[in-house]
């Protein structure tokens, strides 16, 4: 009965904290438009990734199990359902971590179950409030698979650990099934699964962890659920393009050595840049303040050789250490310039933070620390979460219940009787508009389409900069039959003030709204 009450308490507490965080910041989600378009695509086509109104013709095979789940609900509720499920997945990760620690307690702590349950609860509580789980980017503030991917990652590595350490060979089947679901649902979780399992094989000098991951890929490709072959082919195209075209994507501005050196100067001369760097660009700084418990744990292990020996001989504590090091390995690798395209490096530490919390609680018992230290850690976490909340700004609860009022441009396009082939500037404007278009005569030029025989190569010729087309509209007119240009007024004006010039003076306006202008070519 006690464990059920603690599970309910963990769920309610973490759900409310995350809901309050989302309410205050939901209006500025960084990937809301594309997520809404993906949900709409799954609503219309399930796991058929061909985009019928795309120029050029092709498919956009993004892992979309979570988007499909959201699409099962009424469209008017997609936003609130997306945010709610995102929070629930996070709560599930925390609860399964708590249950996992309680299950292993006697093999780690060697104390009574009454003590084990509370120390497992402390670890789950500390982990649930770790600031890395409340970043200023689109983790909770989206409908993506980031929290779902973390939950599935826990299932994968927990079942892998139980099977590997106890030699429960039958349990590998659950690990493989989980791996297949990861591949079909979250590209980041897939990358984390590959990198961490590879490290575990090195750590244990055993091929088993990485082999389980490889088998997951092999079976997924063989039986092809969710059209995983197409997802992997599309992701391979993505890797190749980003690796060859890092400039302008934003990835090349992360972990700039000059920014690390000049960071103290920016604090006094350019506060906005200082804040942007420490919240989005400098991954080592982000890790230091967002997961301080990780560095505390390593410092203690380094200075206390006896404690390290205890961890090393205890198979489960050693597995926790291996998972932490695996996350650090992935973090370090993806912090390097050639691998920045694999995503924000600090995200690879989200699961490591859980097992660092478990070791921290173990240290409490080992050193007989006062339980008041938990209150200090939680207070620090609350302060960081509140700073992130202030950074993101408050918009209010009502923003959760609607996506955005439809623009009059949408109504105009839905009523067109002639084929209209549109180039949007910037390209991201397409996602918000296309979500509401039901007219098959309207087509949009799109990025990252796996085009037949060309993959992503067409973008190298069509883009002057990431997300921005070349100013020569006749190029698109002759090559794709583009006959209209849709611009987002504010973004284009801001970009033209820098280094890109588009000439709209001689182009007749077909339709315009407060936010958009549709020109005829």
pLDDT digits (tens, 9 = 90+) for 276-302: 888 878 888 888 888 989 989 989 999
Tell which wins on pLDDT, 268 or 156: 156
Residue 123's Cβ-count burial label (10 Å; 0-12, 13-18, 19+) is buried
| Per-residue confidence (pLDDT) for residue 398, from 0 to 100 | 43
| Per-residue confidence (pLDDT) for residue 278, from 0 to 100 | 84
| Per-residue confidence (pLDDT) for residue 495, from 0 to 100 | 60
| Per-residue confidence (pLDDT) for residue 324, from 0 to 100 | 95
CB 305 within 8 A of CB 220: no
Query: What DSSP designation does 255 have?
Result: T
**420, β-bridge pairs:** 442
pLDDT reading at 103 higher than 80: yes
Counts of helices then strands in the chain (DSSP H, E): 23, 10
- Three-class DSSP category at 262: helix
Q: How far apart are the first and last CA of the chain?
A: 70
| Per-residue confidence (pLDDT) for residue 249, from 0 to 100 | 58
Give the angle 28-32-38 at the CA atoms, nearest 5°. 180
Distance CA(364)–CA(125), nearest Å, equals 15
pLDDT reading at 395 higher than 50: no
Tell me the per-residue pLDDT of 141-186, one tens digit each, with 9 for 90 and over. Answer: 777 788 999 999 999 999 999 999 998 899 999 999 999 999 999 9
The pLDDT confidence band at residue 394, using thresholds 50, 70 and 90, is very low
Mean pLDDT of the chain: 85
Tell which wins on pLDDT, 66 or 399: 66
**455, β-bridge pairs:** 451
| Per-residue confidence (pLDDT) for residue 197, from 0 to 100 | 97
Tell me the per-residue pLDDT of 26-63, one tens digit each, with 9 for 90 and over. Answer: 444 556 778 888 888 888 888 888 888 888 888 888 88
CB 10 within 8 A of CB 384: no
pLDDT (average), residues 198-226: 96
Tell which wins on pLDDT, 114 or 120: 120
The pLDDT confidence band at residue 511, using thresholds 50, 70 and 90, is confident
The pLDDT confidence band at residue 410, using thresholds 50, 70 and 90, is confident
pLDDT (average), residues 440-444: 88
- Angle, to 10 degrees, between the axis of helix 372-392 and the axis of helix 2-25? 30
Give the DSSP H or E segment for 103. helix 78-108
pLDDT reading at 331 higher than 90: yes
Residue 386 has, within 13 A of its CA and on its CB side, a CA count of 6
CB 58 within 8 A of CB 451: yes
| Per-residue confidence (pLDDT) for residue 25, from 0 to 100 | 57
Tell which wins on pLDDT, 111 or 78: 78
Site of tokens 């086509």: 45
Which residues touch 392 (CB under 8 Å, ≥6 apart)?
24, 25, 28, 136, 141
Q: Which long-range contacts (CB under 8 A, 24 or more apart) does 496-502 make?
A: 500/464, 500/465, 500/468, 500/471, 501/471, 502/425, 502/471
The pLDDT confidence band at residue 206, using thresholds 50, 70 and 90, is very high
- Most distant CA atoms of the chain, gap in Å: 80
The pLDDT confidence band at residue 212, using thresholds 50, 70 and 90, is very high
| Per-residue confidence (pLDDT) for residue 24, from 0 to 100 | 63
Rg of the chain in Å (alpha carbons): 24
The pLDDT confidence band at residue 493, using thresholds 50, 70 and 90, is low
Instruction: Tell me which range, 78-92, 104-118, 479-493, is most confidently predicted by mean pLDDT.
Output: 78-92
Tell which wins on pLDDT, 229 or 55: 229
| Per-residue confidence (pLDDT) for residue 393, from 0 to 100 | 57
Distance CA(396)–CA(402), nearest Å, equals 12
Of 69-78, 209-218, 385-394, 471-480, the least confident: 385-394
CB 422 within 8 A of CB 484: yes
- b/e 262-279 (16+ beta carbons within 10 angstroms → b): beeebeeeeeebbebbbb
**58, β-bridge pairs:** 51
Site of tokens 């190569």: 457
> CA torsion angle for 67, 458, 460, 41 (degrees, to 10)?
-10
| Per-residue confidence (pLDDT) for residue 494, from 0 to 100 | 57
């Amino acid at each position: 009965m006690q464990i059920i009450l603690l599970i309910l308490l963990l769920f309610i507490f973490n759900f409310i904290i995350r809901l309050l965080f989302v309410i205050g910041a939901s209006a500025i989600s960084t990937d809301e438009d594309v997520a809404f378009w993906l949900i709409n695509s799954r609503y219309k086509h399930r796991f058929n990734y061909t985009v019928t109104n795309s120029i050029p013709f092709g498919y956009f095979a993004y892992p979309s199990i979570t988007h499909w789940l959201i699409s099962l609900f009424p469209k008017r509720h997609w936003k609130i359902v997306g945010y709610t499920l995102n929070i629930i997945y996070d709560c599930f990760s925390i609860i399964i971590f708590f249950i996992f620690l309680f299950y292993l307690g006697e093999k780690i702590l060697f104390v009574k179950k009454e003590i084990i349950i509370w120390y497992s609860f402390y670890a789950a509580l500390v982990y649930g409030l770790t600031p890395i789980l409340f970043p200023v980017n689109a983790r909770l503030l989206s409908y993506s698979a980031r929290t779902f991917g973390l939950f599935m990652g826990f299932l994968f590595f927990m079942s892998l650990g139980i099977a590997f350490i106890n030699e429960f060979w039958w349990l590998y089947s659950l690990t493989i099934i989980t791996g297949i679901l990861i591949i079909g649902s979250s590209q980041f979780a897939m990358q984390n699964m590959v990198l961490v399992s590879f490290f575990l094989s090195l750590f244990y000098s055993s091929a088993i962890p990485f082999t389980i991951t490889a088998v997951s890929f092999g079976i997924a490709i063989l039986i092809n659920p969710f059209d995983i072959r197409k997802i992997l082919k599309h992701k391979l195209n993505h890797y190749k393009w980003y690796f060859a075209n890092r400039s302008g994507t934003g990835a090349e501005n992360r972990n700039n050595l000059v920014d690390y050196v000049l960071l103290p100067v920016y604090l006094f001369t350019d506060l906005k840049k200082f804040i942007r760097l420490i919240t989005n660009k400098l991954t080592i700084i982000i890790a230091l303040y967002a997961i301080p418990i990780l560095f505390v744990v390593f410092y203690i292990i380094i200075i206390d050789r006896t404690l390290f020996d205890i961890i090393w001989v205890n198979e489960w504590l050693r597995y926790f250490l291996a998972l932490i090091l695996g996350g650090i390995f992935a973090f370090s690798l993806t912090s390097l310039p050639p691998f920045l395209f694999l995503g924000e490096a600090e995200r690879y530490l989200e699961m490591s933070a859980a097992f660092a919390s478990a070791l921290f609680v173990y240290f409490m018992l080992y050193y007989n620390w006062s339980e008041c230290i938990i209150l200090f850690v939680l207070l620090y976490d609350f302060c960081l979460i509140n700073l992130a909340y202030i950074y993101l700004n408050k918009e209010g609860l009502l923003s959760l219940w609607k996506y955005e009022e439809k623009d009059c441009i949408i109504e105009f396009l839905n009523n067109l009787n002639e084929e209209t082939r549109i180039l949007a500037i910037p390209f991201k404007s397409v996602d918000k508009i296309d979500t509401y278009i039901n007219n098959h005569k309207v087509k949009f030029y799109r990025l990252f389409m796996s085009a037949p025989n060309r993959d992503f190569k067409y973008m190298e010729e069509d883009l002057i900069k990431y997300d921005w087309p070349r100013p020569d509209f006749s190029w698109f007119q002759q090559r794709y039959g583009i006959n209209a240009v849709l611009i987002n007024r504010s973004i284009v004006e801001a970009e033209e003030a820098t280094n890109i010039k588009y000439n709209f003076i001689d182009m007749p306006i077909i339709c315009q709204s407060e936010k958009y202008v549709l020109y005829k070519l």
